[in-house]
């Protein structure tokens, strides 16, 4: 982590939780001594955005995020939510391009690009997810995949100050297999170099690049000290008490 970029810890609850269990998580965070220098963003299922927002509104540096949004403002899109709906429920962020949206629901780079433009136009911050599958890593195509995904984001980004890039190798998400700090740092460094060459050195220096993929209370410290890892997008561990330890992993 560079001293010039605020450390970021996101919790992606995915399709987990209910009013009771998520209230427990919110209460735990509200009463915990969290590192005030860390930005914390929680992404509950859409029906619970307003609940978590109301419970954590008074907690400094803690905000909520939509897990996904539709690119249209309104219309006949059964099951979807718009950016304005997410905002109305208190969201300040939106996760886009998560591997489950890409590989389970078939979202293309083109569609994710459209969503990016809509999210930024609405005033939300984009958590832009990229990452390769195991076969891409083994064949040496990690950056080819990441660059293709990054390019789709880049073509639709008007304000890089409202973008957080989340590198999540698909082979490490929910598998218990985490990229070593050295592997994660190498890819994060390559992503930052790509930003410098294709967007600008200032953007490369200021944009936070966070890591996701089986992050937990045991491996977070070793990952956090890498110079180009600016935080985490945490999955399963964000539902557990150890999430507080992850948030506080850079505290001196």
For residue range 212-230, list pLDDT tens digits in order.
Answer: 988 999 999 999 999 999 9
Report yes or no: 125 and 153 within 8 Å, Cβ to Cβ: no
Question: Please, which pLDDT band fits residue 3 given cuts at 50, 70 and 90?
Answer: low
CA 172 to chain centre: 15
Name the residues annotated as catalytic: 98, 168
Answer yes or no: are the C-beta atoms of 124 and 82 closer than 8 Å: no
pLDDT for the residue numbered 1: 66
Which pTM was predicted? 0.96
- How far apart (Å, rounded) are the C-alpha atoms in residues 153 and 109? 8
Beta bridge partners of 210: 166
Give the pLDDT confidence of 165-208 residue by residue, as tens digits.
Answer: 999 999 887 777 778 999 999 999 999 999 999 999 999 999 99
Instruction: Please state, in angstroms and rounded to a whole number, the distance separating the CA atoms of residues 118 and 73.
Output: 8
Kindly state the DSSP code that residue 124 receives in the 8-state scheme.
P
pLDDT of residue 176: 76
To 10 degrees, what angle do helices 181-198 and 142-154 make? 40
């Amino acid at each position: 982590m560079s001293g010039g970029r605020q450390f970021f810890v996101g919790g992606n609850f995915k399709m987990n939780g209910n009013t009771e269990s998520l209230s427990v998580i919110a209460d735990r965070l509200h009463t915990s001594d969290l590192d005030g220098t860390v930005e914390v963003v929680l992404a509950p299922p859409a029906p619970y955005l307003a609940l978590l927002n109301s419970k954590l509104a008074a907690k400094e540096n803690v905000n909520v995020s939509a897990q996904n949004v539709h690119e249209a403002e309104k219309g006949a899109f059964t099951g979807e939510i718009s950016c304005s709906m997410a905002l109305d429920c208190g969201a300040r962020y939106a996760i886009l391009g998560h591997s489950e949206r890409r590989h389970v629901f078939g979202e293309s780079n083109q569609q994710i690009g459209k969503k990016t433009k809509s999210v930024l136009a609405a005033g939300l911050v984009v958590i832009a997810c990229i990452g390769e599958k195991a076969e891409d890593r083994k064949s040496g195509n990690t950056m080819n995949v990441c660059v293709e995904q990054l390019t789709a984001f880049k073509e639709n980004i008007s304000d890089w100050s409202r973008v957080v890039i989340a590198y999540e190798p698909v082979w490490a998400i929910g598998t218990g297999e985490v990229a070593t700090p050295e592997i994660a740092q190498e890819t994060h460094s390559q992503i930052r170099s790509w930003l410098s060459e294709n967007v600008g050195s200032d953007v490369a220096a200021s944009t936070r690049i966070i890591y996701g993929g089986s992050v937990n209370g045991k491996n977070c410290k070793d990952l956090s000290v890498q110079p180009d890892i600016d935080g985490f997008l945490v999955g399963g561990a964000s539902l557990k008490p150890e999430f507080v330890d992850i948030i506080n992993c850079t505290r001196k």
